[in-house]
Amino acid sequence: TEAEDVPQRIVSLSPTHTEILFAIGAGDQVIAVDNLSNHPEEAAAVLTDLSAFEPNVEAISGYEPDLVVLSNEGPIVKQLAKIDIETWIGPAPATLGDAYAQIEQLGALTGHMGDAAEVVSGMETDIAELTSDLPAPERPLTYYHELDDTYYSVTSNTFLGSIYSLFGLRNIADRMEGDSGGYPQLNAEFIVSESPDMIFLADTVCCGQTAETVGARDGWDSIAAVQNGQVIEMNDDIASRWGPRIVDYVRQVRTAFEDAAAVQPASFGSALANRPDRAVSTGQNGAVRRG
């Protein structure tokens, strides 16, 4: 990218991409971020009341941006094009490979290709390490990932599902995928009857759910995860973003997996047979999104 083509007045309306822009060294080029971009701390200096969910062309153009970063398409893209403001869209990925591709694309776009390559390389190394030398349970462990307290979940055909698959985990929601696009709404009876070995709560912030509230749900005390203390409280923000903090998410899943594997007879060895080959480095720039 020629120096004069590198955007210097970036508005980010995507918390994920705000994290990425700062991680690749483009933070100084960011002049405004949306009201949910709460990480990293440096982003607080350019935090605004701009909404990613209801973007307002007048409010955005008031910052005189030369690039607006979004995580999904919508009328705003055409509205900004009409007033000659460039946009870049990074939709929710389907795989880690898709997420890495977005980091590299933003690096190329902002003049930080080397930094972006370094971030991706570091993530690949960390995740490869976190998903190697896994305990091998007698049988594949099952899990339920909770998006909210109305039992929306994710299937293996989603970005988060692909991360759990790295550990050979079996997703109870897969049978209920239907036409949900990877985000089926389950019901309590089904979850209780499946009795997953692990429950990952990605609704701790939005909906105040904890291991304690889950255990108190009617009938849930019979679920293996509840009985064995394998209800894991995740950070909603990290669970819904696909930037460099994915590594923290993978680390938390690794710890939980080791704990759950220890509950049943297990031998340390390779669980690679249970996971897709080289899932960490495949995939194109994704277009799978929720809703």
List of domains in the chain: 10-125 (3.40.50.1980), 138-262 (3.40.50.1980)
The strand pairing partners of 210, in sequence order, are: none
The pLDDT score that the predictor gives to residue 3 is 60
- Residues 175-202: what's their mean pLDDT? 96
Q: What is the dihedral of CA 15, 36, 198, 141, to 10 degrees?
A: -10
The pLDDT score that the predictor gives to residue 263 is 82
When comparing pLDDT for 27 and 265, which is higher?
A: 27
Distance, CA of 44 to CA of 231 (rounded, Å) = 32
pLDDT digits (tens, 9 = 90+) for 99-124: 999 999 999 999 999 999 999 999 99
The pLDDT score that the predictor gives to residue 272 is 41
What is the value of pTM for the model shown?
0.85
pLDDT digits (tens, 9 = 90+) for 145-160: 999 999 999 999 999 9
Confidence class for position 264, pLDDT limits 50, 70, 90? low
